[in-house]
Structure 1
Amino acid sequence: MRRPFRFGLLVVALLAAFTARPAAAADLLVFAAASLKNALDDAIADYGKRTGVKIDVSYAASGPLARQIEAGAPADLFISADLQWMDEIAQHDLIRPESRVDLLGNRLVLVAAKDDKRAITIGPDTDLAALIGSGRLAIGDPQSVPAGKYAESALEKLGLWAKVEPKLARAESVRAALALVSRGEAPLGIVYATDAAADPGVRVAAEFPATSYPPVIYPAALVKASHSPQAQPFLEYLEGAAAAPFFTRQGFTRLVPPA
């Protein structure tokens, strides 16, 4: 029972922080999946230079962000790392459905520390538990982190889940899982390919077969309660050609052809 209680406290604390911020702090508040940070930060900097619009971003796992929106957090735009959490807030009539777009795609990889040169192939015959040894396999918590949910799906499909589940280090976000490997606190981790590319402390040890997990899709949508006139233009910018290089450079696949 402790995990739901801690999760509820986290949502309440973060919601209080957002509602307490000055009204003029930014023209736009974006809630975005943690794995988007590097690419989205670059895109926001470019957009600010072009328009003068000031944008604040809250990066976290998609689950807690969705819960904060449900609790009334003043987000203007939500970019999730999977369809489930966007579907959930859509079912609560919290987004503008006509604005929803499948923006980006990603891939799932196994990462190791940069000095770990082991050759690993991921498949049904991989003894992943032996490769982890006495350490832990870092993943995002599947209950709230899309990357963790995809990791669980892939490991189950490959028949590896039962043996590695007792060895999991469940992190609060995919970037937190990445940091565990980068700092040497876990020998291996499962993250998105774009996360691996963003951290020089890790290397991609293996890529999971695309057939072992559902397609990784990042949907974006305007929050229905938003009154910011800057939300729609910024979403259109993210869909367009000007923003494309910031995402493809980090390894994302664009699902929306630039206009």
Structure 2
Amino acid sequence: MVACNGATLNNQQPEVVSLTVSVAASLQDAMKAIKVLYTKETPDVTIIYNFASSGSLQQQIEQGAPVDVFISAAPKQMNDLEYKGLLVQGTRQSLVNNQVVLVSPKEETGISNFKDLTSDNISKIAMGDPESVPAGQYAKEVLTSLNLFEQLKPKLVFGKDVRQVLSYVETGNVDAGLVYATDAKLSNQVKIVATAPPESYSRIIYPVAVLKESKNPDLANQFVQFIIGDSAKTVFLRYGFIMVDN
């Protein structure tokens, strides 16, 4: 039986296509602002964001979640998907860089550097779970490089993504947290007390790529080109990201 398609044929509106974009949590504010710009230029494409930790998003994709574009906060998750043949070849780009900073609640006065975390006055330090959250992996690298990780282990509280870590610090549930510089910049409830030495952790690169399962790979790649373009670059810079030269 053939379904009647008359209603579609008579409809003068262009068909609206949806793209599902899975994005590392630390990018959500910048990507929401970019969506506004993209929608103005491309009104017949609807962007649906899925924000979570890169590890969770990678798992969802491997389990068959219908995702068109993936942006992770570290190369590892993208590499894993690439090895499994889940990316459209030639669409992967390095998008932006970031930095690791140590933050405390605004009124906290007992912390001015990473060494202060060993003080008996500091009982809880938040960071992302190093097993699944890139921000946690970078934080672990920093603390290990500074010979502090093993000593601080009993104080560590792991968050499911970097935004949860930031929230723990904002609410005063922890004494300090390790987050991205861009997250710290967004909050007026925390202060940056130290910036991690660049040599203490792997360079933070956010890669983006189109997924093989995409039903609209051309449109998905067009979206990737938009977010590495000049309009989006202005937004990323405004939110404190550092641009990558592809």
TM-score by length of 2: 0.90
Cα deviation, residue 212, structure 1 = 0.4
AA aligned opposite 2:122? G
Correspondence for 1:111: 103
Give the Cα separation in 2 of the matches to 1:111 and 1:48: 35
**SS in structure 2 at match of 1:230:** helix
**Does 2:161 align with 1:169?**
no
**Does 2:243 align with 1:254?**
yes
Correspondence for 1:142: 130
**Does 2:33 align with 1:42?**
yes
Cα deviation, residue 213, structure 1 = 0.3
- Per-residue Cα deviation, 1:41-66 (whole angstroms, up to 9, x for no partner): 10011111121121010000000100
Correspondence for 2:146: 158
Which runs of 5 or more residues in structure 1 are unaligned?
1-23
Give the Cα separation in 1 of the matches to 2:106 and 2:41: 37
Correspondence for 1:230: 219
AA aligned opposite 1:44? K
- Per-residue Cα deviation, 1:186-232 (whole angstroms, up to 9, x for no partner): 11000000010112211111100001001000000000110124211
Q: 1:128 to 1:119 in 2, by over 3 A?
A: closer
Correspondence for 2:176: 188
**Does 2:204 align with 1:216?**
yes
Q: Which of 50, 68, 71 does residue 79 from structure 1 map onto?
A: 71
Correspondence for 2:7: none
Cα deviation, residue 97, structure 1 = 2.7
Q: 1:75 to 1:121 in 2, by over 3 A?
A: same
Cα deviation, residue 233, structure 1 = 1.0
Give the Cα separation in 2 of the matches to 1:117 and 1:26: 51
Cα deviation, residue 132, structure 1 = 5.7
**Does 2:16 align with 1:28?**
no
**SS in structure 2 at match of 1:165:** helix
Could you tell me the percent identity over the aligned residues?
38
Cα deviation, residue 25, structure 1 = 9.0
Give the count of matched residue pairs: 230
Cα deviation, residue 131, structure 1 = 6.7
Q: 1:43 to 1:115 in 2, by over 3 A?
A: same
Q: 1:129 to 1:225 in 2, by over 3 A?
A: same
Q: Which of 113, 119, 123 does residue 130 from structure 1 map onto?
A: 119
**SS in structure 2 at match of 1:98:** coil
**SS in structure 2 at match of 1:37:** helix
Which structure's CA Rg is the greater one?
A: 2
**SS in structure 2 at match of 1:94:** coil
- Per-residue Cα deviation, 1:33-92 (whole angstroms, up to 9, x for no partner): 000011011001111112112101000000010011000000000000001010001111
**Does 2:51 align with 1:63?**
no
**Aligned residues: CA RMSD:** 1.6
AA aligned opposite 2:202? P
Is contact 2:54-2:132 (8 Å) kept? yes
**SS in structure 2 at match of 1:27:** strand
Give the Cα separation in 1 of the matches to 2:148 and 2:159: 19
Is contact 2:96-2:206 (8 Å) kept? yes
AA aligned opposite 2:227? L
TM-score by length of 1: 0.85
Is contact 1:32-1:60 (8 Å) kept? yes
Deviates more, 1:112-121 or 1:163-172: 112-121
**Does 2:237 align with 1:245?**
no
Cα deviation, residue 252, structure 1 = 0.5
Q: Which of 88, 101, 110 does residue 93 from structure 2 map onto?
A: 101
